[in-house]
Amino acid sequence: MIFVYALVEAATGWYAGSLALLSDSGHMLSDAFALMIAAFAAWVAKKPPSQTHSFGMGRAEVVAALFSSVLLLVIAAAVIVEAVERLHAPIHVKAIPVMIIAFFGMLVNIVVAVILAKSERTLNMRAAMLHVLSDLLGSFAALVAGAVIYVTGWSPIDPILSILIGVLIAISSLRILKEAMRILLEGVPVHLSMTMIATEMKKVSGVLNVHDLHIWTLSSGTVSLSAHIDIHEISAWQQVLSDLSSMLDKKFEIDHITLQPEPEIFDCKPCQTIM
């Protein structure tokens, strides 16, 4: 849907001389490409763990989000540069074709946005949705520009709105890019605090201390945690482990946990018998 209508917008934008419409068609073409990548990444992310990828391929969606955000930044920069040049050398814009095509472009993007809104809220889908919403803004800007030019004849509104939309897209893209980079660089998720989690873990009965604590995002929606837990006796470990796992899941929604006990006293008689 987006690819076909992008071609229609490009042809109409060239005919009408509208930068807003041409830039929006460029957005839509890039979005069609980005959505294909997002769909492929979502398919790859569903693959189960293997001998070569023991955690599975969940981060394929993060890589796709990273690519989409970079692509949007490039497009936004290109639109802003072209708009600045158009301000210095304005051309006549045919307002009526611009308004008609922009209006139907908004409808196409609304339909696609509704479809995406029903999907999982992964970083990949958020990046895909950002592409579509940026197109929606672009179509709206083209519609407004066409209306202003039709009523007042003031053509600078076309590149001015293009610059505004370009800036908004760039800001949103940088947010997605930052989050994707944080995940790929094994950063602590933005919504979590290592200090707070360590404090809560120390409150669990039987826990003497927590160290070598690591928290990272395995893939969108999956947070992992590993730590060394100081306890008094190894015989209490099963209960401590159960309490820690339950607390981390309920309070912080962390269920991919690896904890290593470090007891002061190794008093496990069955273990000593085996040894």
Q: Is residue 164 in a domain?
A: yes
Across 3-7, 23-27, 68-72, 103-107, least confident range: 23-27
Q: What's the N-to-C CA distance of the chain in angstroms? A: 67
Count how many domains the chain has.
2
Assess if residue 189 is contained within a domain. Answer: no
Same domain for 142 and 209, yes or no, is no
Q: Which of 220, 153, 227 is nearest to 184 (CA)?
A: 220
Can you read off the two tokens belonging to residue 213? 């604590």
Report if residue 270 sits inside a domain.
yes
Does the residue 249 lie in any domain? yes
Whether residue 53 is found in the same domain as residue 78: yes
Give the range of the structural domain holding residue 88, as residue numbers without chain letter. 2-184
Q: Find out whether 222 and 238 touch, Cβ atoms under 8 Å.
A: no
Fill in the amino acid letter for 60.
Answer: A
Q: Is 124 in contact with 154 (CB distance < 8 Å)? A: no
- How far apart CA 104 and CA 139 sit, in angstroms, is 8
Residues 152, 219, single domain; the answer is no
Tell me the three state secondary structure of residue 122. coil
The predicted-structure confidence for 206-247, as pLDDT tens digits, reads as follows 999 999 999 998 876 789 999 999 999 888 999 999 999 999
pLDDT on residue 131: 75
The answer as to whether 252 is a domain residue is yes
